Amino acid sequence: MMARKRVVLSILKIAAVCAALVLFFLLLAWGQEHWDAYTVRILNLCGIYIGITLGLNLCNGFTGQFSLGIAGFMAVGAYTTALLTMAPAIKQAVYFIEPLIYPLNSIQWGFLPSLLMAAIVSGIVGFLVGAPAIRFRGDYLAITTLGFAEIIRVLFTNIVPITNGALGLKGIPPHTNLVWSWGFALVCVAVMARLMRSGFGRALKAIRDDEIAAEAMGVNLFSHKCLAFVVSAMMAGVGGGLLGNLITTIDPNMFRFPLTFTVLMMAVLGGLGSITGTVISAALVTVAMEALRALEEPRVIFGLALPGIPGMRMVVFSVALMMVILFFPKGFMGDRELSLDRAKSLATRLRRANTSRQG
Amino acid sequence: MSDKGLPALVCENVTMRFGGLTAVSEFNLVVPEGALFGLIGPNGAGKTTVFNIVSGVLHPSAGSVKLFGDDISGFSPDRIAHRGIARTFQNIRLFRNLTVLDNVLVGLHVRREANLAEALLALPRHRAEEARMASTATQLLRDVGLEDFSSYRASALPYGQQRRLEIARALATGPRVLLLDEPAAGMNPAETEDLMRLITDIRERFDLTILLIEHEMKVVMGICERMTVLDHGETIAEGTPAEIQCNERVIKAYLGGGVVAEN
């Protein structure tokens, strides 16, 4: 009886989740047509940054391998997707200094296979960079991966027959919409949640806490660190691809260090090692980045004309980051998660406190 | 088993040099299967270096280590853990931010069968394995008396219980040989008594061979059947507790050589 009840309950649960997902995506599809372009753009960025930040958090937060190469992986993914989705005629027009090499100049793929290819290519690059780099620890790993991201950027500026050099790519088809970007975010959340609830996720956290003990307990450091590095690179690559097809133009200078810094800030604010914290903070920071643009406009306050100061937003973010580090050294969520169980246990604790006060 | 009768652990002429310093020289050790073997010596004698060599943290400059006849010298620590040697650490190395239960589950990860794809897709084999691992881990925590703390952070446990958790985590890897590095360090007499009971108990229950480093003479003399005494990287004595207690070189190493008196 009990077993059957449990099966029914779990089927109901799955059905409820599926229904919620379908509703969510229907809403997004409807919103894509009916919400204004500015809102849609920001929501798209939210979804994309949630995925990318989760990837960064997998490597930097959960596994404790402080990597600063995320912009490089995003560049790899963005260029891969863009080159595969652009129409041959547009490619011919864009590459006017040197023509694009065969076969890239004559193919055009759909969006999904292009994104999958971006995941594969950035995953391979992630392995090639990660395999030697993860022998380093701490600061050295950070410097190595930062150097890698810069190398990618310089390479992309100079391999003109493939990347069109500093001119970048224009006329990338605007495939990215709310369904794609939030679909990506949800896939990343699901992958992270599954991973962290399995033995593999526990092994990654064990590496973060104590490498020597983890290895003595039979955790293969190389393969587990590679796993974190490659999955992280794949998420960044797909995110980069979605970003390129959202803003329809990319050039190597987009993928400088500040991009890595933005993603890192999202992860640190939310809590290195928290999935829900990352989702909340990536969405908040993306929205705030736009909302705070108001600070950079010229305005009149109490009859005093203030000129607009470009970069004021970043000052605000710096202050916010310092405040968080001072008051929440581990970010908003630390390495905890928001979950229904947690909310429930909080509620029972409150109720118990209440009754004990009354009694 | 085919390797019946072979000694569980053998060190043959193991030498470890760090630059000009020879930490361990020509070390020989034969631990029979099922033994509870002690490794003692004054501070800096090279005991932990021997442990680090056996568990793969250090690779010996010369000599070999054999586990049930298989040469494992030069293997990485995770491969050695796969082969069936588990250890604890002198200065506790728990996964501080993980729960007590998760610490033990990490130890069980080494014997997993489900692969990454099965884990990501939550396929039946993975789910069954996770459930099995959770119940094994809970049982192990019960064995060391920590079942009430399974959802605590490891760093929140008091010292003596952290040592017990380290033992439970080591047992989770399914070892045939267990290396305990000063398990009684920092424990009060009552905790030490409990620990001695725990060690003899798990040896029976898990069919283990145990090699033990200890400074607390009560523990070594109380539970070890045989022991090796190291001093300045060299083996100075081997025998039963009674033999060691009246061995002159051992007494000299521990109490000082009386060089002044001889002159």
Whole-angstrom distance, CA of residue B255 vs CA of residue B232: 14
pLDDT-based confidence at residue A289 (cuts at 50, 70, 90): confident
- Cβ separation B130–A198 shorter than 8 A: yes
Neighbours of B86 (CB within 10 A): 27
CB contact at 8 A, B14 and B65: yes
Residues of A with CB under 8 A from a CB of B: 191, 194-195, 197-200, 202-203, 205-206, 208-210, 212-221, 227, 273, 335
- Cβ separation A200–B169 shorter than 8 A: no
Q: CB within 8 A of A304, min separation 6: which ones?
A: none
- ipTM confidence score: 0.89
pLDDT at B258 over 70: no
At A168, the amino acid letter reads G
pLDDT-based confidence at residue B261 (cuts at 50, 70, 90): very low
Residue A75 is predicted with a pLDDT of: 96
Half-sphere exposure of A353 (CA within 13 A, CB side): 6
DSSP string, A64-102: ------HHHHHHHHHHHHHHHHS-HHHHHHH--SSPPPT
- Cβ separation A218–B110 shorter than 8 A: yes
Task: Name the average pLDDT for chain A.
Answer: 90
Q: Which residues of A touch B173 (CB under 8 A)?
A: 217-218
Whole-angstrom distance, CA of residue B42 vs CA of residue B215: 8
Domain residue spans of chain B: 1-84+175-263, 93-171
Residue B1 is predicted with a pLDDT of: 46
CB contact at 8 A, A43 and A32: no
Q: Is the peptide bond before A258 cis (omega within 30 degrees of 0)?
A: no
Closest approach of A284 to chain B, Cα-based (Å): 27
Residue A1 is predicted with a pLDDT of: 62
Overall average pLDDT of the A139-148 stretch: 93
CB contact at 8 A, A75 and A153: yes
Domains of chain A (ranges, CATH numbers): 35-297+307-358 (1.10.3470)
Touching check for B134 and chain A: CB below 8 Å? no
Q: CB within 8 A of A65, min separation 6: which ones?
A: A59, A134, A141, A225, A228, A229
DSSP string, A30-74: HHHHHS-HHHHHHHHHHHHHHHHHHHHHIIIIIS------HHHHH
Whole-angstrom distance, CA of residue A83 vs CA of residue A88: 9
Characterize the bridge pairing of strands B21-31 and B177-181: unpaired
Task: Name the average pLDDT for chain B.
Answer: 88
What is the gyration radius of the CA atoms in chain B, in angstroms?
20
Closest approach of B251 to chain A, Cα-based (Å): 34
Overall average pLDDT of the A63-77 stretch: 94
Q: What is the pTM of this model?
A: 0.89
A25, A29, A34, A286, B63 from A37: Cα distances, Å: 18, 13, 9, 16, 72
pLDDT-based confidence at residue A358 (cuts at 50, 70, 90): low
CATH (residue range B1-84+175-263): 3.40.50.300
